Structure 1
């Protein structure tokens, strides 16, 4: 019975439902317990990394002000299951590109906020932040510049710690040039002024994260290199039940879980 396709499908559906339940209840006070429960799925989490990423992105889109919480949860899981984290980063970057192409300012703002916090949690390298700001500054509409300002405020402190300051200052100067043209909405002009002040104070009033969200030990984080310039596949086939996925589950688990060799 346990090897039947019907049983495997029921198991998949139950696991997908469990992941959705856990992701939907996460908050700043229970991130670690929720992460532990998700990681207890072990090889099942690897098999169901598609539904996990979909659940995270859906919850973040519905509650963008908790983006830092979702990024912290992803960081914990990514430290043990990096292929899960990599798939999530790829899909977030793809969603950003799609929102930009379709001029969907609302989705662009939500997605860039999540991406900023994934940078803050060292799930993805900061090079993608330069990609984001260069893209938005290269087409300086009020919507694009407004999103770029918010993005820079969210992860500016992280960028100061990891990117040469002259690169950041080049971007800041570009914001200043756009401001001086006087063609943006007044609210966006005000936000640029706020960004310029934040840079002068080294983003002191915009901390990249808080103590409650720093839940991955130093040296345990796995950071992925993903760029807007990369040809990325969302691997949507991972979202659906595949009866063949269980054939090499044990081997997949041993290869994809960080520390599996150390525990032998």
Structure 2
């Protein structure tokens, strides 16, 4: 789905109806649809045209991540993380949010949380390193220290080693 097509669709179709009334429904539909097919470009266009809907999508996506993470639902947590990291590429989300998520993930130091943190770093390391080199260095130091923790599975330690090898 090209950005130009989405732009035309938005200009000609969606603004003829009352989209403000259906903001919540639109936000929920986009979040659910991203599990099957990425809608990052569409969210970017929506955010430019109606920032309130873009903000609502972000809020709901962060809440979705929080709920799935608390339920230890790694698959849906990973989907939310991927969606959020692509929204940084589209200039919809500020990188500080993802840094806060990384800090949260590395506070618990479980196999799942460390693996999710590494996936997040792999998705958007460049976007995080440019404006926040010190914060990212602290996160890498934390990961380096985790290599020596006996509580982590060998697979998780291996994933950390692969991250540093790249």
Q: How far off is 1:195 after superposition?
A: 2.0
In structure 2, the residue matched to 1:190 is 158
SS at match of 1:44: coil
Structure 2 segments unaligned to the other structure (5+ residues): none
Q: How far off is 1:61 after superposition?
A: 2.0
1:154 partnered with 2:128 = no
1:60 partnered with 2:34 = yes
Structure 1 segments of 4+ aligned residues over 4 angstroms from their partners: none
In structure 2, the residue matched to 1:37 is 9
Structure 1 segments unaligned to the other structure (5+ residues): 1-26, 199-264
Matches within 5 A, 1:32-111: 32-40=4-12, 41-42=14-15, 44-63=18-37, 66=38, 70-111=39-80
C-alpha separation between the residues in 1 aligned to 2:80 and 2:52? Answer: 20
> What is the aligned length?
164
Are the aligned partners of 1:149 and 1:195 in contact in 2 as well (CA < 8 Å)? yes
C-alpha separation between the residues in 2 aligned to 1:72 and 1:161? Answer: 23
In structure 2, the residue matched to 1:166 is 134
Are the aligned partners of 1:137 and 1:148 in contact in 2 as well (CA < 8 Å)? yes
Q: How far off is 1:74 after superposition?
A: 0.8
Q: Specify which structure has the bigger relative contact order, considering alpha-carbon pairs within 8 angstroms and separated by 6 or more residues.
A: 1
C-alpha separation between the residues in 1 aligned to 2:26 and 2:130? Answer: 30
C-alpha separation between the residues in 2 aligned to 1:128 and 1:115? Answer: 9
Q: How far off is 1:153 after superposition?
A: 0.9
C-alpha separation between the residues in 2 aligned to 1:162 and 1:59? Answer: 31
Q: Which protein has the larger Cα radius of gyration, Structure 1 or Structure 2?
A: 1
Q: How far off is 1:162 after superposition?
A: 1.9
Could you say if the C-alpha distance between residues 109 and 132 of structure 1 is closer, same or farther in structure 2, counting changes exceeding 3 Å?
Answer: same
C-alpha separation between the residues in 2 aligned to 1:32 and 1:182? Answer: 52
Are the aligned partners of 1:32 and 1:73 in contact in 2 as well (CA < 8 Å)? no
SS at match of 2:91: coil
TM-score, normalised to structure 2's length?
A: 0.89
Q: Answer 1 or 2: which has greater helix percent.
A: 2
Are the aligned partners of 1:39 and 1:45 in contact in 2 as well (CA < 8 Å)? no
C-alpha separation between the residues in 2 aligned to 1:57 and 1:39? Answer: 22
